[in-house]
């Protein structure tokens, strides 16, 4: 049976609306997998008559990570071009293969094998390789056809179905980057089928542009929104703490007495950037606005009440992880969460942290260097 495809649909790909019409179901693959959020969605993508078992093709089996492979492509191209990036980016496959042999880089596959592995045209492979590691995934995102594919009038409904299906599969309301990861997994599963065109799903960039906000898109997909938990309580400012003192004591203190009072009360204080006079002036303005009086002048420390007994201090410093712990966390991420052959991405790592409590959050990585450099040290690039 012919599958109806919009004239603006990307050739060689199948959109969800066409699939749903073919399967004669109302909510697309989302309805097919409600019984098992962890089920293999690829089993539901194509009718039984068109399914075929996944097979391993006789292609290059990667022995090095995609980041290291691209580094090798760049090294060979730059040496062949005498270090000139403008000449290196224009190197052909045959010239690169010849340079690889001359440089005895036997650990690298042929140019065609590299092209097949990444699924990109050779000029883009070289451009990607010559791009800084930290910018490669961003460049791949810009090349992603699902961002700007001609979805046409069915686009909003296509996005609604895809968002609902990914949400059901994940089992929780996704953030935009989590949705994109889920969409990529679904597309990859559909590509492993020998028959039928692979799915192409809209990305969060298109969805936000179409529905004006991520929250509006979730509501349009009939996804129940869970209220966000309250964030940590904001520490008081110096003006807040000084107002608390005036309310409790009824006097205006000197700066030295006040800072010691804050220390004993375990109230965090910042440097007096604008000077003590500025803090007192802000206090007077705030209290005057609500009709509360403020003492005209400060009282000397000898006439103020005795300082309170020091309160137990609460540790507010975030845990600083060692470099060894960071590298171990990234290796765990590479072994358990990063699909084979995929490039590590900080947003993907963050999504893995949400599921795996043994991973260190990205905020703990920053003091040790760039994410992609740490991944390279951990051997997952």
pLDDT tens-place values along the chain, 381 residues long: 333 333 344 555 666 666 565 544 444 444 333 333 333 333 333 333 333 333 334 444 456 778 888 999 999 999 999 999 999 999 999 999 999 999 999 889 999 998 888 878 899 999 999 998 878 877 877 776 555 556 778 888 888 998 998 888 888 888 887 888 788 888 878 777 766 677 788 888 888 888 888 889 898 888 887 665 554 566 678 888 889 899 988 999 998 898 888 888 887 776 665 688 888 998 999 999 989 999 989 998 888 889 888 877 655 445 578 889 889 999 999 888 887 777 788 878 888 887 888 888 888 887 788 888 888 888 886
Can you spell out the DSSP letters for 285-331? HHHHHTT----SSPPPGGGSPPPPPPPPPPP-PPP---HHHHHHHHH
Tokens of 88: 């290196």
Query: pLDDT at position 202, please?
Result: 86
On whether the pTM is more than 0.75, the answer is: no
SS3 374: helix
Q: How far apart are CA 374 and CA 365, in angstroms?
A: 8
Alpha helices, H only, the chain: 16-23, 29-32, 42-45, 66-80, 85-88, 93-102, 111-118, 122-129, 133-143, 145-148, 155-170, 176-191, 204-211, 214-220, 238-249, 255-264, 275-289, 323-336, 346-355, 371-378
Q: How far apart are CA 379 and CA 381, in angstroms?
A: 6
Question: Where along the chain do its domains lie?
Answer: 16-51+145-220, 66-143, 238-303, 323-378
- Cβ–Cβ < 8 Å for 246, 295: yes
């Amino acid at each position: 049976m012919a599958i109806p495809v919009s004239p603006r649909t990307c050739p060689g790909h199948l959109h969800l609306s066409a699939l749903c019409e073919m399967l004669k179901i109302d909510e697309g693959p989302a309805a097919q997998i409600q019984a098992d959020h962890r089920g293999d969605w690829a089993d539901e993508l194509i009718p039984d008559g068109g399914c075929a078992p996944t097979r391993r093709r006789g292609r290059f089996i990667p022995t090095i990570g995609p980041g290291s492979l691209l580094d090798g492509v760049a090294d060979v191209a730059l040496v062949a071009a005498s270090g000139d990036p403008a000449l290196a980016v224009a190197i052909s496959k045959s010239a690169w293969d010849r340079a690889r042999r001359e440089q005895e880089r036997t650990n690298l596959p042929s140019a065609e094998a590299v092209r097949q592995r990444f699924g990109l045209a050779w000029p883009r492979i070289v451009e990607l390789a010559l791009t800084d590691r930290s910018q490669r995934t961003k460049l791949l995102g810009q090349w992603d056809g699902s961002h700007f594919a001609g979805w046409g009038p069915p686009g909003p409904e296509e996005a609604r179905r895809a968002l609902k299906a990914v949400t059901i599969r994940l089992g929780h309301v996704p953030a935009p980057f989590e949705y994109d990861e889920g969409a990529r997994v679904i597309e990859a599963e559909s590509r492993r089928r020998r028959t039928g065109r692979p799915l192409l799903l809209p990305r969060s960039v298109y969805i936000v542009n179409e529905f004006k906000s991520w929250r509006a898109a979730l509501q349009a997909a009939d996804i129940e929104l869970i209220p966000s938990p309250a964030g940590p309580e904001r520490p008081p400012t110096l003006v807040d703490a000084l107002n608390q003192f005036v309310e409790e004591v009824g006097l205006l203190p000197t700066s030295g007495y006040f800072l010691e009072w804050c220390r004993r009360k375990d109230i965090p204080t910042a440097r007096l950037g604008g000077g003590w006079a500025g803090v007192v002036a802000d206090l007077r303005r705030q209290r005057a606005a609500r009709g509360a009086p403020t003492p005209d002048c400060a009282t000397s420390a000898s006439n103020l009440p005795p300082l309170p007994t020091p309160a137990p201090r609460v540790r507010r410093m975030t845990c600083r992880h060692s470099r060894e712990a960071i590298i171990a966390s990234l290796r765990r991420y590479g072994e358990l969460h990063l699909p084979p052959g995929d490039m590590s991405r900080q947003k993907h790592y963050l999504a893995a942290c949400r599921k795996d409590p043994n991973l260190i959050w990205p905020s703990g990585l920053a003091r040790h260097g760039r994410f992609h450099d740490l991944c390279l040290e951990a051997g997952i690039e």
